Structure 1
Amino acid sequence: MKDELLLRTICKVSPVSIRIVDIKNRELICNCEWSTEQLGYTEEEFFTLSHNLFEKLVHPDDRPIQLKAYQSVFEQPDTPFQEYTIRVLKKNGVYEHLQIRLAVLARDEFKKPKTVLSIATNVEEVVALKERIERQVNKLDLISFKNSHDLRGPVASILGLVQLIEHDGFDGAHAKELIDCLKRAVIKLDAVIHEINEHAFDE
């Protein structure tokens, strides 16, 4: 009884999102006020929405991730914790990325997990930074590809035409044709360089 009171007190005053979940009934037992304040729900609303492991709050695409983590808790109860990231619906209708850490808090008479301690951390800024880095990496990959492939064709054409001009001279019968080809190659090269610059400075 004292341990339960202590846990409830810690949950209430915790500056991070701490929850105790009844695995058998798949619902919340205890919750800190911070988590409800962050998501915008009242305490009563949050407890109601906790039924079936917060199914109504977890983004449908992320639900399998959550269920897999809880299944891992059952299959590997001695593992210190299970960690995953999901999107959770705030009261204002916006999904927020949370990193969840699950740890077995108590077991039943069969040594099976009975209650789980769930600690949630807002990682919205981290996810946004990761997405921005991925966009920059994709941009660099595209620029690298264009430098390695698209630029080589026009440059090779120009070098080949210059060699022909040097060999035949401008008085040869093919001088005008060579100059036209050279002009087209330079225009193509300029277009590729312009495209690369657009990708390089595009935010």
Structure 2
Amino acid sequence: METGSKFLNSIFEVTHVEFQTFDLSQNKLGFSSGMACQLLGYSEEDYRWLSNGFYKEIVHPDDRELVQQTIDKVTNAKNGEVIEMTARFRKSGGDYIWLYSRQMIYERNADNQTSTIIRQVEDVTRLIELQYELKTKVDQLNLVSYKNSHLLRSPVASIIGLVNIIEEHEITSQHNRQILSFLKDAITRLDEVIHEINDDAK
């Protein structure tokens, strides 16, 4: 039994994932593999105390409703049904990190009501940050594409139109013809660049 317990603890340490059971009847933590204490920076005693009320003391205010909804879902879940949640929890130093959890019913009482749930918890802060950074980059590309397609393309199209009108009329001055040629080449190159930028943005 001791060997099995040591093996499980080794798995928890290697995977950097928290495993725990939560006693809903007493509204407190039953078992913790200890990884959450390391992730959040609390002592084991403090972490157990903070588990009262499903960690409501350290849940981000904007995520408390989500946490309550998750508790309700898992309480009324079917055996084997996994309920997922991603929410922010406060570390001992005051900063918040994103934790992803999967929970399911572990035990029911004599009245067939959920008494204990088992949870897997993982720090996904970096993943959330990368998703936000990616969204920001995409938004920036969309803005560039919009400006190229609407704000920049419009005056360029107008200039192209003016060049075409000028070409329809006879220009006798060699100097003016040369200026018009330079203008036409420049606007053509600019138009090609705009198309390339729009294609790259897509």
Normalised by the length of structure 2, the TM-score is 0.75
Deviates more, 1:46-55 or 1:74-83: 74-83
Flag the 1:26–1:11 CA change in 2: closer, same or farther, 3 A. farther
The equivalent of 1:131 in structure 2 is: 132
- Structure 1 residues 116-155: aligned runs within 5 Å: 116-155=117-156
- Indicate the RMSD between aligned Cα atoms, in angstroms: 3.1
CA distance in 2, matches of 1:12, 1:105: 22
User: Does the CA contact (< 8 Å) of 1:12 and 1:32 recur in 2?
Assistant: no
- Structure 1 residues 58-69: aligned runs within 5 Å: 58-69=59-70
Q: 1:14 aligns with which of 8, 12, 15?
A: 12
The equivalent of 1:78 in structure 2 is: 79
CA distance in 2, matches of 1:12, 1:104: 24
* TM-superposition CA deviations, 1:113-146 (whole Å, max 9, x none): 1001111101111111111111111112112212
Paired AA for residue 51 in structure 1: N
- Give the superposition deviation at 1:13: 7.7
- Structure 1 residues 181-192: aligned runs within 5 Å: none
CA distance in 2, matches of 1:87, 1:76: 23
Paired AA for residue 151 in structure 1: L
Is residue 24 from structure 1 mapped to residue 22 from structure 2 by the alignment? no
Deviates more, 1:148-157 or 1:98-107: 148-157
User: Does the CA contact (< 8 Å) of 1:13 and 1:33 recur in 2?
Assistant: no
Secondary structure class of the residue paired with 2:161 = helix
Is residue 94 from structure 1 mapped to residue 92 from structure 2 by the alignment? no
Secondary structure class of the residue paired with 1:96 = strand
Moved over 6 A (4+): none
CA distance in 1, matches of 2:83, 2:77: 9
Paired AA for residue 12 in structure 2: S
CA distance in 2, matches of 1:136, 1:60: 28
User: Does the CA contact (< 8 Å) of 1:12 and 1:33 recur in 2?
Assistant: no
User: Does the CA contact (< 8 Å) of 2:101 and 2:119 recur in 1?
Assistant: yes
- Give the superposition deviation at 1:60: 0.8
The equivalent of 1:49 in structure 2 is: 50
CA distance in 2, matches of 1:128, 1:27: 30
- Give the superposition deviation at 1:167: 2.8
CA distance in 2, matches of 1:48, 1:13: 25
- Give the superposition deviation at 1:164: 2.4
How high is the sequence identity, in percent, across the aligned residues?
Answer: 31
Secondary structure class of the residue paired with 1:67 = helix
User: Does the CA contact (< 8 Å) of 1:11 and 1:31 recur in 2?
Assistant: no
- Give the superposition deviation at 1:112: 1.4
Unaligned runs of 5+ in 1: none
- Give the superposition deviation at 1:170: 5.2
Deviates more, 1:46-55 or 1:9-18: 9-18
Greater RCO, CA 8 A, separation 6+? 2
Secondary structure class of the residue paired with 1:118 = strand
- Give the superposition deviation at 1:78: 2.6
Secondary structure class of the residue paired with 2:121 = strand
